C-alpha cells in the first residue's frame, strides 16, 4: 500500500517498517534504536542476520550519537557529499544495537538525498534502511517494485524513480587507508580530491571479513544473466537484451539500448531485470561495458552486473 508522509512518520514512530525513496534505491526503514522493528526488517527481507544495516541520518550532527572518534576526514566527506550516495563505515558507539551492526564494532552511516526521506528522518529519528527487496534480488528503484516484491504488504512512501538506480558507495574509514567496500556513484578519485590521500578498493577477502554482505549473492533476477562480448548479428526473440552501443533496435520489447548513456543504464538496470522476469524471459544478455569509459558509474555498473551473472 502507498502511504503519505504523515502516515509513514506515524508508522516509524510506532515501531513499524516503511519503504522509503532515496536517490540510489528504495530502502526498508525502521527506527534504528528499536530492536523489534529492526528484526522485522530482517524477517521481511529474509536477510542473513550477519549482514549489517546502514543507519540513515538527516543531519551530520546525528552521527555523533552513532559513531565515535569522528575524524576530520569524516567531516570533510560529509560536507562534500552529503546528502548523497556515500556511506561511511565508522567505529560505533556502544549503545548502537548489535542487531544493526551484526555484532561488528563498526557502523555504516549515510545521509540520503531525497526530500521526503530527509523530512521523515527529521520528524522521527535515524533509520536503518537496507534496500527494500527480498534478500539477493535486484534493489527497487520505484515504489511499484516494492509493492510487487512484497505483494503490497509493505507500506511504501512513493518518491518517484530513484535518480541514480545503484546502491551507495560504501567507504571504510576505520582502516589505515580509506577503502571502498562497495563501488557506487562516488568514486575513489572524487574522495581523493577531498582527502588528499589515496583511496583503494578493498580486496574480496578483506571485504568479506569487514563487510559480511559482500559474501552473499546479490542483485540477481530470476532469469540467467550473461555478458555479451560483442553485439550479436542476430537477436533471439526469447532473450532480453540490455545494450549500450548506439544501435537503434526500434520498438522491440526484448531489445533495449541506452545509446551510450551510462547514467541511464544505471538508472534502468534493475528495472530491466525486473521487466525481463515479469515478461517471463529466462535469459538476459548484457553487452559488456567498454574497458575505459571514464564514466563515474562504470565500476558500480560492472560490479552489479558481475554479481548478477555469478553463482555466489
Q: Considering the complex, state which of residue 216 and residue 235 has its C-beta at the smaller distance from Mg ion.
A: 216
Query: Per-residue x/- mask for Mg ion, residues 224 to 263, rule CB under 5 A?
Result: ----------------------------------------
Residue 243 contacts residue 255 (beta carbons within 8 Å): yes
Instruction: Check residue 22 for interaction with Mg ion (CB under 5 A).
Output: no
Strands (E), 36-153: 54-56, 86-91, 106-110, 127-128
For 136-147, the DSSP string reads TSPPP-SHHHHH
Shortest distance (Å) from residue 24 CB to Mg ion = 10
Residue 28 contacts residue 16 (beta carbons within 8 Å): no
Cell of 35: 530492536
Shortest distance (Å) from residue 132 CB to Mg ion = 9
The pairing of strands 283-287 and 239-243 is parallel
Query: Which one of ligand TXA, Mg ion, none interacts with residue 45, CB within 5 to 8 A by kind?
Result: none
Cell of 117: 526521506
Query: Which one of ligand TXA, Mg ion, none interacts with residue 104, CB within 5 to 8 A by kind?
Result: ligand TXA
Instruction: Check residue 131 for interaction with Mg ion (CB under 5 A).
Output: yes
Residue 85 contacts residue 169 (beta carbons within 8 Å): yes
Residue 26 contacts residue 163 (beta carbons within 8 Å): no
Query: Which one of ligand TXA, Mg ion, none interacts with residue 129, CB within 5 to 8 A by kind?
Result: ligand TXA
Query: Which one of ligand TXA, Mg ion, none interacts with residue 52, CB within 5 to 8 A by kind?
Result: ligand TXA
Query: Which one of ligand TXA, Mg ion, none interacts with residue 53, CB within 5 to 8 A by kind?
Result: ligand TXA
Instruction: Check residue 179 for interaction with Mg ion (CB under 5 A).
Output: no
First to last CA, the chain: 33
Residues 65-84 that bind Mg ion (CB under 5 A): none
Residue whose C-alpha is closest to residue 259's, from 268, 309, 112: 268
Task: Characterize 94-133 residue by residue with b for buried, 16 or more Cβ atoms within 10 angstroms of its Cβ, and e for exposed.
Answer: eebeebbbbebebbbbbbbbbebbbebbeebbbbbbbbbb
Cβ atoms within 10 Å of 203's Cβ, excluding its own: 10
Query: Which one of ligand TXA, Mg ion, none interacts with residue 257, CB within 5 to 8 A by kind?
Result: none
Residues that bind ligand TXA (CB under 6 A): 22, 24-25, 27, 51-54, 87, 89, 101, 104, 106-108, 112, 129-131, 167-168, 170, 181-182, 210-214
Residue nearest to Mg ion (CB): 131
Q: Considering the complex, state which of residue 53 and residue 243 has its C-beta at the smaller distance from ligand TXA.
A: 53
Query: Which one of ligand TXA, Mg ion, none interacts with residue 207, CB within 5 to 8 A by kind?
Result: none
Residue nearest to ligand TXA (CB): 213
Shortest distance (Å) from residue 78 CB to ligand TXA = 15
Distance CA 154, CA 83 (A): 26
Q: Considering the complex, state which of residue 131 and residue 172 has its C-beta at the smaller distance from Mg ion.
A: 131
* Residues in touch with Mg ion (CB under 5 A): 131
Amino acid at each position: 500500500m502507498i502511504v503519505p508522509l504523515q502516515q509513514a512518520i506515524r508508522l516509524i514512530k510506532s515501531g513499524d517498517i516503511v519503504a522509503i525513496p532515496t536517490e540510489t534505491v528504495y530502502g526498508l526503514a525502521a527506527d534504528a534504536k528499536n530492536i523489534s522493528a529492526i528484526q522485522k526488517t530482517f524477517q521481511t527481507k529474509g536477510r542473513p542476520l550477519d549482514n549489517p544495516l546502514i543507519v540513515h541520518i538527516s543531519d551530520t550532527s546525528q552521527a555523533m550519537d552513532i559513531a565515535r572518534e569522528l575524524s576530520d576526514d569524516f567531516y570533510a566527506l560529509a560536507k562534500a557529499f552529503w546528502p548523497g550516495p556515500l556511506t561511511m563505515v565508522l567505529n560505533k558507539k556502544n549503545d548502537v544495537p548489535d542487531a544493526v551492526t551484526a555484532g561488528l564494532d563498526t557502523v555504516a552511516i549515510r545521509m540520503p538525498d531525497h526530500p521526503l526521506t530527509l523530512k521523515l528522518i527529521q520528524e522521527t529519528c535515524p533509520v536503518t534502511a537496507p534496500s527494500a527487496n527480498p534478500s539477493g534480488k535486484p534493489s527497487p528503484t520505484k515504489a511499484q517494485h516494492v509493492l510487487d516484491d512484497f505483494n503490497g504488504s509493505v507500506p511504501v512512501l512513493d518518491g518517484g524513480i530513484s535518480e541514480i538506480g545503484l546502491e551507495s558507495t560504501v567507504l571504510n574509514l576505520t582502516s589505515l587507508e580509506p577503502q571502498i567496500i562497495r563501488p557506487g556513484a562516488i568514486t575513489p578519485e572524487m574522495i581523493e580530491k577531498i582527502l588528499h590521500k589515496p583511496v583503494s578498493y578493498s580486496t574480496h577477502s578483506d571485504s568479506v571479513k569487514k563487510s559480511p554482505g559482500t559474501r552473499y549473492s546479490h542483485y540477481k533476477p530470476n532469469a540467467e544473466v550473461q555478458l555479451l562480448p560483442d553485439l550479436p548479428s542476430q537477436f533471439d526473440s526469447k532473450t532480453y537484451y540490455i545494450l549500450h552501443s548506439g544501435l537503434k533496435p526500434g520498438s522491440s520489447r526484448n531489445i533495449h539500448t541506452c545509446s551510450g548513456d551510462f547514467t541511464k543504464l544505471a538508472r534502468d538496470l534493475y528495472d530491466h531485470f525486473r521487466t525481463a522476469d515479469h515478461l517471463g524471459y529466462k535469459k538476459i544478455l548484457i553487452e559488456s561495458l567498454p574497458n575505459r569509459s571514464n564514466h563515474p558509474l562504470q565500476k558500480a555498473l560492472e560490479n552489479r552486473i558481475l554479481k548478477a551473472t555469478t553463482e555466489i
